[in-house]
Amino acid sequence: MAKPITGKTHIGERREKRANGDIYIYERVTAYDEKAKKTYTVSQKLKGKIKQGTQEVVVTRPKKNKGEGGIADAT
């Protein structure tokens, strides 16, 4: 018997190896589309990378929010 369709999202991890040997780690949220009967990616966020020859995850530079570092008042 097949799994019942709930419409929930799934959070998973994706590792992508680049040509220079570094491995980038992404957190990916997927959901199921009942009409097309396929899964699709809702969002994807870079968590960090593993440099070639090491085993530890290095956190990459976080993106700034639009609210940070705004225009300063000149008085």
Given a cut of 70, is residue 73 above it in pLDDT? Answer: no
Q: What is the pLDDT of residues 12-63, one digit of tens each?
A: 999 999 999 999 999 999 998 888 889 899 999 999 999 998 999 998 877 6
Residue span of the structural domain in which 25 resides: 10-57
pLDDT of residue 68: 57
According to DSSP, the residues that pair with 23 across neighbouring strands are 17, 50
Q: Is the pTM of this model over 0.75?
A: no
Is 5 part of a structural domain of the chain? no
Say if 1 falls within a structural domain.
Answer: no
User: Is position 4 within any domain?
Assistant: no
Q: Regarding predicted confidence, which is higher, 65 or 5? A: 65
**Residue 3 forms part of a structural domain:** no
| Structural domain includes residue 2 | no
**At which residue do the structure tokens 């700034």 appear?**
64
**Domain total for the chain?**
1
Predicted local distance difference test score (pLDDT) of residue 69: 60
**Model pLDDT, residue 22:** 94
